[in-house]
Chains A and B, each alone.
Chain A
Amino acid sequence: EIVLTQSPGTLSLSPGERATLSCRASQSVSSSYLAWYQQKPGQAPRLLIYGASSRATGIPDRFSGSGSGTDFTLTISRLEPEDFAVYYCQQYGSSPRVYTFGQGTKLEIK
């Protein structure tokens, strides 16, 4: 099964800065099957990006996703105070049919 490794583990930035989060897969992943979620303390995860680069409904355009193969990136162009949270990448495997999450990147205020 595919393993997703996210880096860095923690990213310390200031509001207004650009954030770049990485998700690396242990083998090639179809772009169609790569997603990103945001989770704030005490809350359920929220879908941000699907198909590697498509924003989910209601997600601001400062969030963007890119990548292919084994390397994927979530970029937040200008950080807002509400963006400080933990971010997870997730992939779907069609054989076997399983879902895998990365270990998360914590985005904290510097």
Chain B
Amino acid sequence: QVTLKESGPALVKPTQTLTLTCTFSGFSLSTSGMRVSWIRQPPGKALEWLARIDWDDDKFYSTSLKTRLTISKDTSKNQVVLTMTNMDPVDTATYYCARIAATGTIFDYWGQGTLVTVSS
């Protein structure tokens, strides 16, 4: 059974760095073909893909946000970490982690999401 769960601060101040952790089970990121992504959704708005990390440590980022994002993994802990620098109120959103299916093209399992509010 595949599960993912996001954790991190609910509130961050403008200009701070956000660090989110995705803890998963039911698969291993050391297995060939496994990939995990982060996706966010501002309140009442659409989904926005942020970053992806692969089993071989390849990393891919949203074109518009890549200068602010870093994704990493700890295979031994079954965790993926996303950091986003220089947070702004427009970054207020629910942040989801999701497993990418073997095709590499779709998100087949999602975490429940964690709401991050950026406010002073």
> Which residues of A line the B interface, CB within 8 A?
1, 32-33, 35, 37, 43-47, 50-51, 56, 88, 90, 92, 96-104
Contacts and interface: CB of A to CB of B under 8 A. Distances in A.
Interface residues of B, number: 23
A98 B96 contact: no
A56 to B, nearest CB: 7
A50 B106 contact: yes
Given A88-B46, A88-B47, A98 B105 contact: no
Contacts of A96: 60, 63
A35 to B, nearest CB: 5
A44 B112 contact: yes
A85 B22 CA distance: 26
Nearest to B4: A44
B60 A98 contact: yes
A99 B37 contact: yes
Contacts of A51: 103
A104 B46 contact: yes
Contacts of B60: 96-98
Given A56-B108, A101-B49, 7 more contacts: A47-B108, A50-B106, A92-B104, A97-B52, A97-B60, A99-B49, A101-B46
